[in-house]
Amino acid sequence: MPTLFDPIALGAFQLPNRILMSPMTRGRADTATAVPTPMMINYYARRADAGLIITEATGISRQGLGWHGAPGLWTEAQVAGWQPITAAVHKNGGRIVAQLWHMGRASHSDFNDGAQPVAASAIAIKGHTYTPLGKKEYEVPRALETNEIAGIVADYAHAAANAKLAGFDGVEVHGANGYLLDNFLKNANNKRTDQYGGSAENRTRFLAEATAAVVNVWGADRVGVRISPLNKFNDAADSDPQALYEVVAKTLSPFNLAFLDVLETLPGHFMYTEGEPVHPAIRQHYKGPMVLNGGYLLDEGSAALASGAADAIAIGVPYLSNPDLVSRLKNGWPLAAPSDPSTWYMGGTAGYDDHAVYGK
């Protein structure tokens, strides 16, 4: 029976353990240019004991970014900013992939010279966001024209190529949490009548095309995809998530990806959504390695491996205050006090990389 501390091959990634560091937005990149800052070097390097680090979500284009302080991978300066980060992770014996992100309707015109955010359909997220000009209501997005989608697919390929130049070991396509690709998947958000709307197969088309473009750059064995069947973040919702994600699983399985990263949170997690779990159906129809994420720690992760529900586990929030998380779990050392949520996203050094390793 495998444990979290046993090695595993996920595609081309030879991992010393089955604990992945989950992607977590931290907002420490330059707010004007989306260039990674020097403070991010040590943050990632200190967490290199993870089997694999998946970076915070990283924009593929100016259009696709709408989070204050989030990094990008569409310019040469951003590539240069990532290079010392990946080098530091490798020096510490780690492996790191870039999560590629288009925020879709979760962005705002304040981030993009007044240009309206884009989405599957012209339906706004309820509530507010934070822009460079302060707290504002989400805007009604512009529905993408059919002929625009190929350009965004090309942006995924461009960012994937830049990830190579930046020294990453691979990439993960962010198809979760109500952002653009997930926005196309869910029928509460996608009211299109072209080949990207209607049936589950049509709504999965954009995700498949973006994945194919990235695979063409890296090879499938260095690409992962993240999905979130039940997550209602950014007002994402589907009337029949099991039927939808059976199609998603069947569509992605032939790619022979390094892994499929399924965010489906356990009760008690801050993003928990009630509903019958979908990951067992995904496991049935997706034939490659599968990673589960969302409130798992030692006991929950071990149980998921033992039951065959997952091949590896991605852990997020505990990594914020425990840079040496694998060592703590493996040796039975106590975890540090949870990090302060007020420091998670809003920039600055406090609460970012000021957590000690065990015994220090």
The pLDDT tens digits for 244-258 are 999 999 999 999 999
Residues with a catalytic annotation lie at: 179
Burial class from Cβ neighbours inside 10 Å (0-12, 13-18, 19+) for residue 163 reads buried
Residue burial 271-306, b: 16+ Cβ < 10 Å; e: rest: bbbeeebbbebbbeebebbbbbbbbbbbeebbebbe
Pairwise CA distance, residues 17 & 49, whole Å: 9
Total-model pTM:
0.97
Q: Which CATH architecture has domain 8-343?
A: Alpha-Beta Barrel (3.20)
Contact yes or no for 313/301 (Cβ under 8 A)? yes
- pLDDT the model gives residue 197: 98
Higher-confidence residue of 350 and 225: namely: 225
Q: What is the pLDDT of residues 23-59, one digit of tens each?
A: 999 999 999 999 999 999 999 999 999 999 999 999 9
- pLDDT the model gives residue 273: 78
Q: By percentage, how much of the chain surpasses pLDDT 70?
A: 100
Pairwise CA distance, residues 23 & 67, whole Å: 15
State the sign of the Cα–Cα–Cα–Cα dihedral 144, 148, 149, 153: negative
